[in-house]
Amino acid sequence: MNRFLTRENLLKWAPLLVLIALIAFFSIINPNFLSVRNFARLFTNASPALMVAIGVTFIILMGSIDLSMEGAVSALAVIFCYVLLWLGGTVAGLGVLAIPAILLLGALVGAVNGLIHVHLRIPSFMSSLAMGFVGTGAAILMTGGNIVKINDEIFRALLTERVFGFPLMVYVALFFLIVGSVILSHTRIGRNFYAVGGGEDLAHASGVNVKRVRVWAFALAGFYFSVAALLQVAKLGQAESVTGSNLMFISITSVVVGGVALWGGIGGVWNALVGVLIVAVINNGMIVIGIPDFIQDGVLGIMVIIAVILSTDRRTVAFVK
Amino acid sequence: MSTFIKDYIERETISRRNFLLATAAGLTSAAIPGAFGGGAAMADAGGWALAWSYRDRASAYWNAIVSGGEAYTESLGLKKDAMTNLINEGSSEKSLADIKAFLAKNNGKAAIACDANDSPNARPVAEAVKKAGGYISTIWNKTDDLHPWDIGDNYVAHISWSGEKPSEEAANILIKAMGGEGAIVHLGGIPANIPAIERLNGLKNAIKKNPKVQLLDSQPADWDTTKAAALMSNYLTKYGNKIKGVHCANDNMAYGVLQALKAEGINLPVTAFDGNPEAVDMVMKGELLATVFTNPHWGGGIALGLAHQAALGKFKPSEEPKAHREFYGPSILVTKADADAFKKKYLDSTPKYDWSDRWGLSAGQIEYK
């Protein structure tokens, strides 16, 4: 028994325990919370944020940060809608090409982001934030402040068609979650993310091309941002210059709450999943049990701090900055 | 600077601008300033620089406001870019700094229309304009204790849009569609925003008059589509099929609500507010029950027009009644019955307004509670 109840194990599973405790708490107060329909709603709303959180996990694992998600998702969503409309407006025809096009573009944008960070030697915090602004600006420029609507029922089936009670987009998110997990645990590039995050000098001395690893990570993050953009369009049937708004707060919070260490080297995409679910459950649960709206933000903030206290091993960190 | 030098520079600037305009148009003579405009209007706005100070271009609403300002500018025989865009990006500090810089650049000879971004910022903005000798009209944001007549002629007018009455009218249509009974959920804007408060009050007024209708819940979704979709699905978990109608404080949130309902295959009557083109299309298709149009094009044009016409001395603000200094802009309820005609009149082609009819569309003096 003691073998399982080590401090290390507890810390590793703490975010999941927090999530289970939250679900139990809200379910006791309002039984409606624990229903397939509610979980379908929760997962549907959380899917785009989950994709962004996974994308940024790759970066945070290296001890860097990517803050370009809001602008990137807005711009990619808008471009996707325009390309889809230009190719006939339905994924039943040529329009289906818009999907690989936007995934590729997302990876390219991410790679550019990474190249700027690595080769111009700008801290990732600053370079990615700046790229995010470029993305928002591009989205405003393209739309002129208007909304681009997608009425293709086949593409929207991602939201409207259900399997086992969950919309198709939830399965798409699940698929990319597993892909992310495989990348981290079964590929060299994935292991290199940990190596760079655990100790960049050591990784470099061991022959890892740190610069290339970094650019790959940003490209991968960009790819996941484009998946988020697709899911966001599937969910809302439209894109505009604010489609990516609020994704920065929720994704970074989720990743940290889920137990990915901001100083790098610790965590993975499953932590991101648990983190996104914790934040989504708190948000959903507060409304379901009827907490007054003016204290919801405050409660969310306090719960985030508690979750971080429970789920990160701050004893191993010499100092916090 | 002596008035002589000031006048000299002004004259030079004006004639240089005319020269540039003329060259651009391929004319050989710079002596015909009226050549580009319609008749009597001077091609230089009478020596006054024009500007609109507002939040950003990321929404249909502000774009419509700007289009009104540009339409006014063009009515003077100028190109629309003769009006300067001062974009504050949601920062009150930038709003004030931009306006001060614009005043300084034009030696105070500026006619400005402005949404001060938040209420307390309206006073420093108005005072800066007065000090420099410019003229300003404001819309939306202003504290209740600030009045144009207290500042003087330089603070020409303030325009706002009452959310309460039109919101109540939209709620009445919603209640009618629900058969006069059942429960409503409301999705609100950012809680401290005046329009968010007024639009919720409108709904509450309607519910008071209909005892068989109750308000289940009202929570903010911050005017945002994504947040509204999440909030609506959370409402569905909490209240299930008790919900018989949805009242939204703006169009963008209604789009999110409709998608959350679509995901579940649920059909509910939904009302919105703002009268954006997409929302009007949805009203025509029957997806939305109603929306409220506030004619931002006219608001944007007349706000600039009032400041400029006062600057030109075409009317003296202090001689006007208070109802001409602080007034509500128009609100039009758009329902399926009139959406088609509405779209033709206001959206397919922008109506041409006579900007010298300064208060023609006013909906009365602003009331404080």
Three state DSSP letters for B56-122: CCCCHHHHHHHHHHHHHHHHCCCCHHHEEEEECCCCHHHHHHHHHHHHHHCCCCEEEEECCCCHHHH
Residue B90: how many CB atoms within 10 A of its CB? 11
Looking only at the bridges linking them, the beta strands covering B270-271 and B243-248 are: parallel
Whether B37-161+296-329 shares its CATH topology with B164-293 is answered: yes
Nearest CB among B58, B220, B262 relative to A241 is that of B58
DSSP per residue over A64-78, as a string? -----HHHHHHHHHH
Binning pLDDT at 50, 70 and 90, where does residue B23 land?
very low
Q: Which residues of A touch B259 (CB under 8 A)?
A: 159, 235-237
Q: Which residues of A touch B264 (CB under 8 A)?
A: 37
Determine whether the interchain pair A45/B60 forms a contact, defined as Cβ–Cβ distance below 8 Å: no
Determine whether the interchain pair A236/B263 forms a contact, defined as Cβ–Cβ distance below 8 Å: no
Q: Which residues of B touch A37 (CB under 8 A)?
A: 236-237, 264
Q: What is the C-alpha separation between B335 and B171, in angstroms, rounded?
A: 12
Domain ranges of chain B: 37-161+296-329, 164-293
Q: State the alpha helices, DSSP H only, in chain B.
A: 3-24, 60-75, 92-105, 122-132, 148-151, 164-177, 194-208, 225-239, 251-264, 277-285, 296-311, 336-342
* Chain Cα centroid distance, residue B205: 24
The residue with greater pLDDT, A3 or B326, is B326
B67 touches chain A (CB under 8 A): no
Q: Which regions in chain A score pLDDT beneath 50?
A: none
Q: What is the C-alpha separation between B25 and A312, in angstroms, rounded?
A: 68
Looking only at the bridges linking them, the beta strands covering B49-54 and A162-163 are: unpaired
Calculate helix-pair angle for A69-86, A210-236, nearest 10 degrees.
Answer: 60
A205-218 residue pLDDT tens:
989 999 999 999 99
Give the pLDDT confidence score for residue B195 in this predicted structure: 86
Of the candidate CATH numbers 3.90.280.10, 2.40.50.140, 3.40.220.10, 3.40.50.2300, the domain formed by B164-293 belongs to: 3.40.50.2300
CA distance A164 to chain B (A): 14
N- to C-terminal Cα separation, chain A: 37
Q: Which residues of A touch B255 (CB under 8 A)?
A: 147, 236-238
Binning pLDDT at 50, 70 and 90, where does residue B145 land?
very high
Compute the mean pLDDT over every residue in chain B, rounded to the nearest whole number.
88
Determine whether the interchain pair A236/B226 forms a contact, defined as Cβ–Cβ distance below 8 Å: yes
- Structure-block tokens of residue B217: 């819940």
**Global ipTM:** 0.89
Determine whether the interchain pair A44/B263 forms a contact, defined as Cβ–Cβ distance below 8 Å: yes
Hey, of A155, A162, A236, which one would you mutate to test binding to chain B, going by the most B CBs within 10 A of its CB?
A236
Nearest CA in chain B to A41: B233
Determine whether the interchain pair B226/A243 forms a contact, defined as Cβ–Cβ distance below 8 Å: yes
Binning pLDDT at 50, 70 and 90, where does residue B43 land?
very low
Q: Which domains are assigned to chain A?
A: 14-22+35-312 (1.10.3470)
Nearest CB among A45, A245, A287 relative to B229 is that of A45
Is B154:B108 a contact under the CB 8 Å cutoff? Answer: no
Give the pLDDT confidence score for residue A315 in this predicted structure: 62
B27 touches chain A (CB under 8 A): no
Q: Is B136 helix (H, G, I), strand (E, B) or coil?
A: strand
B263-288 residue pLDDT tens:
999 999 999 999 988 999 999 999 99
**At the topology level of CATH, where does B37-161+296-329 sit?**
Rossmann fold (3.40.50)
Determine whether the interchain pair B263/A167 forms a contact, defined as Cβ–Cβ distance below 8 Å: yes
What's the mean pLDDT in B202-212? 96
Whether the predicted pLDDT of B171 surpasses 90: yes
Is B175:B206 a contact under the CB 8 Å cutoff? Answer: yes
Binning pLDDT at 50, 70 and 90, where does residue B6 land?
low
CA distance A107 to chain B (A): 24
In which residue are the tokens 């022959």 written? A207
Residue A28: how many CB atoms within 10 A of its CB? 11
- Structure-block tokens of residue B59: 């929404």
Binning pLDDT at 50, 70 and 90, where does residue B27 land?
very low
Whether the predicted pLDDT of B39 surpasses 70: no
B101 touches chain A (CB under 8 A): no
Nearest CB among A41, A238, A245 relative to B236 is that of A41
Give the pLDDT confidence score for residue B192 in this predicted structure: 74
In which residue are the tokens 């306090």 written? A302
In which residue are the tokens 């601008």 written? B17
Read off the amino acid at residue A244. Answer: G
Q: For chain A, which residues lie within 8 Å of any Cβ of chain B, measuring from their own Cβ?
A: 30, 32-33, 35, 37-38, 41-42, 44-45, 140, 144-147, 149, 156, 159-160, 167, 232, 235-238, 240-243, 245-246, 283-284, 287-288, 290, 293-294
Phi-psi region of B274 (alpha: psi -120 to 50; beta: other; left: phi over 0): left
DSSP character at residue B153? T
Q: What is the C-alpha separation between A94 and A147, in angstroms, rounded?
A: 23
Q: What is the C-alpha separation between B13 and A120, in angstroms, rounded?
A: 44
Hey, of B222, B233, B258, B285, which one would you mutate to test binding to chain A, going by the most A CBs within 10 A of its CB?
B233
B218-261 residue pLDDT tens:
999 988 999 999 999 999 999 999 999 999 999 999 999 999 99
Nearest CB among A30, A145, A242 relative to B238 is that of A30
Determine whether the interchain pair A159/B259 forms a contact, defined as Cβ–Cβ distance below 8 Å: yes
Q: What is the C-alpha separation between B148 and B312, in angstroms, rounded?
A: 18
- B186-225 residues touching A, CB cutoff 8 A: 191, 217, 219-220, 224-225
N- to C-terminal Cα separation, chain B: 46
B56 touches chain A (CB under 8 A): yes
Determine whether the interchain pair B234/A287 forms a contact, defined as Cβ–Cβ distance below 8 Å: yes
Q: Which residues contact B192 (CB under 8 A, 6 or more apart)?
A: none
CA distance B265 to chain A (A): 8
B50-109 residue pLDDT tens:
999 998 887 788 889 999 999 999 999 999 999 999 999 888 999 999 999 999 999 999
Whether the predicted pLDDT of B41 surpasses 60: no
Nearest CB among B226, B234, B259 relative to A284 is that of B234
